[in-house]
Amino acid sequence: MSSNTAELHIKTVTRPTGDSMGNGLFATADIENGGEVLRTDKPFVIVLDTPRLHDTCAGCYGTRQLLNPETASADLKACTRCKVVRYCNKSCQLKDWRFAHSLECPIFSKLYPNIMPNHARAVLRVILRHRSKKYSDDEFQRFLALGSHRQDMLTGSHKDRWENNILLSAKAVKEFSGVELSEEQIALYIARLDINAFNLATPFYDRIGLFLHPYAALINHSCDYNAVVSYEADKIFIKASRPIKKDEQIYVSYIDTTYSVNTRRKELAERYFFNCNCPKCTEEEKTPVGERASIEHAENKTKELIESASKLEDYDEAVKKYEQGIRTLLSTFACPITKQPYVSLRDELILVLLSARRFEEALVHTMIRYLRVDPFVYPNENSPVRRLHAWTLAKLGVYVSEESGPGRPDGPFRKFGINTALITWAALVWLVRGEREACTSPGFQTVVKEQYQQVSRLFISAGFKADQMASLFDEEWKKVDALAEHVLKQEREKGNAAITM
């Protein structure tokens, strides 16, 4: 164990896996569903993605803005010297200054207005912090022991990744850092970061940067994972997504496991250089080759559609594109809406409806996702994705209830007699009741609880009683289910119509 044990809270031990995975982390005790497997209090290195430098605090990584907006400035203040990083208050600025910014600021100042990419900024921090003896020897050796996959990157299609991304970044870091390390050594540092870093996100799973802790990086991948990662400020929380037995290996997923086995394996091979043979992949491999190829083709076409739609500046046109994509899938691809690529298309449709400020339509599709999709795609109720989707429903429900009143005269909620405020409360009740086993961060749970208490007070003051709520919720969900069936029927009919055209 490294000398920074105080900065780790763990129920694991490092051990050889006995297979091609090398070392892994194993539970040192039984861990209950939703129990904490590992928590880091301080990262080895952490940086914001370049597009997030202007809107995210580099001290609290947006957490204060989300959880304690009253203590954060409405406008982030840029570092007066380098003008690259921004902070919400003096406390955050001082924290980042002590961690690494005092070392990098002079370099950023010389480069401004040019800004180094995130991996280059991350490895620059590693080099400068190591030179300033901010790492223990044991801690830095753990970083050096992480795999770089240099040989894999020098072959075939991966060669471009090494030459045009990693080596170019290494050259820039070498030039501006003034360290005695060779470009090749710096490139290996970058490769280790590229392979082993986590995607840093807010408590609400909005990606904002990258994060590395050498111990946490030892957790291996499985599409049939037993733990998940959540984020808050510069901390990561790894929690059990199901009960874990003592001596059982800990697995997280490096990718979106809702996609098919062909798509998953392709992404893992290209990004992490291994072929997954977990129980989920092995079972799905039994599907006939032709059927697997058909699913992969549909997933690839959908990814192309999403990429194309994301470039549209007119959100209403993007909505049309996604709706057409769903209809096209329904007319050509016999698969339930609980499978990819339908799942991603509906997720993207919800996001673009929000961008287009078509909130009632977005709420309808969020309800469909909550009732008809997520219970099958994410059967564990403690899933962070499922809980985030429920939170989206609740927040949308609050907005529609407050801003739209009873809705349009011809709107879907009035037509089906749905009380959106009651549905909002029901979703919040579900979130709060499952909090103990939830794999979300403490900050996420705090915000949910505050919203729940606020909505509950409104209903209780209006004369609603707690012992009435179960039956009221059931009746309201039946109305929502009828609306969901109506919308899905329309989608199917339009898809079938496309076949006969």
Strand order in the sheet with 207-212: 45-48, 207-212, 198-201
239: helix, coil or strand? strand
Residue 341 CA to residue 330 CA, distance in Å, equals 11
Structural domain spans, the chain: 1-41+226-252, 44-212, 358-487
Confidence (pLDDT) at 160 = 80
Secondary structure element (H or E) that encloses residue 240, with its range: strand 235-240
**Residue for token digits 């809980």?**
387
On whether the CB atoms of residues 216 and 39 are closer than 8 A, the answer is no
Residue 494 CA to residue 322 CA, distance in Å, equals 14
Confidence (pLDDT) at 60 = 94
Distances (CA, A) of 271 to 192, 266, 293, 304: 13, 8, 21, 19
pLDDT in tens, 466-492: 677 888 999 999 999 999 999 999 988
What are residue 235's DSSP bridge partners?
232
Q: For the chain, give the percent of residues with pLDDT over 70.
A: 94
**Residue for token digits 């990429």?**
307
Residue 32 CA to residue 99 CA, distance in Å, equals 34
Phi/psi of residue 258, each to 5°? -80, -15
Residue type at position 145: A
Distances (CA, A) of 46 to 136, 176, 192: 17, 19, 14
pLDDT in tens, 264-303: 999 999 999 999 999 999 999 999 999 999 999 999 999 9
Q: For the chain, give the percent of residues with pLDDT over 90.
A: 79
pLDDT at position 499 over 60:
no
Reported confidence tier of residue 184, pLDDT bands at 50, 70, 90? very high
Confidence (pLDDT) at 501 = 28
488: helix, coil or strand? helix
> Does the 1-41+226-252 domain belong in CATH 2.170.270.10?
yes
Using DSSP, how many helices (H) and how many strands (E) does the chain show? 21, 13
Residue type at position 23: N
**Dihedral, CA atoms, 257, 259, 262, 266, nearest 10 degrees?**
-70
Antiparallel, parallel or unpaired: β 220-221 and 251-252: parallel
pLDDT at position 498 over 60:
no
Burial class (CB in 10 A: 0-12, 13-18, 19+), 178: exposed
87: helix, coil or strand? strand
Q: What is the DSSP letter of 245?
A: -
The b/e string for 121-146 (b: 16+ C-beta within 10 A; e otherwise) is bbbbbbbbbbeeebbeeebbebbeeb
Mean pLDDT within 391-415: 82
Mean pLDDT within 348-361: 96
**Residue for token digits 């590229």?**
194
pLDDT at position 3 over 70:
no
Mean pLDDT within 245-256: 98
Residue 238 CA to residue 440 CA, distance in Å, equals 9
16: preceding bond cis by omega (within 30 degrees) = no
pLDDT at position 125 over 50:
yes
Residue 484 CA to residue 126 CA, distance in Å, equals 51
The mean predicted confidence, pLDDT, of the chain is 91
Lookup: tokens for 307 = 């990429």
Mean pLDDT within 406-414: 71
Phi/psi of residue 46, each to 5°? -150, 135
Reported confidence tier of residue 496, pLDDT bands at 50, 70, 90? low
Confidence (pLDDT) at 345 = 96
pTM for this entry: 0.93
Reported confidence tier of residue 2, pLDDT bands at 50, 70, 90? very low
Secondary structure element (H or E) that encloses residue 256, with its range: none
Distances (CA, A) of 373 to 71, 338, 340, 488: 38, 5, 11, 12
Residue 439 CA to residue 303 CA, distance in Å, equals 28
Q: Which of 38-42, 235-239, 457-461, 495-499 has the lowest mean pLDDT?
A: 495-499
**Residue for token digits 């280790």?**
192
pLDDT in tens, 58-108: 999 999 888 776 665 568 999 999 999 999 999 999 999 999 999 999 999
Reported confidence tier of residue 155, pLDDT bands at 50, 70, 90? confident
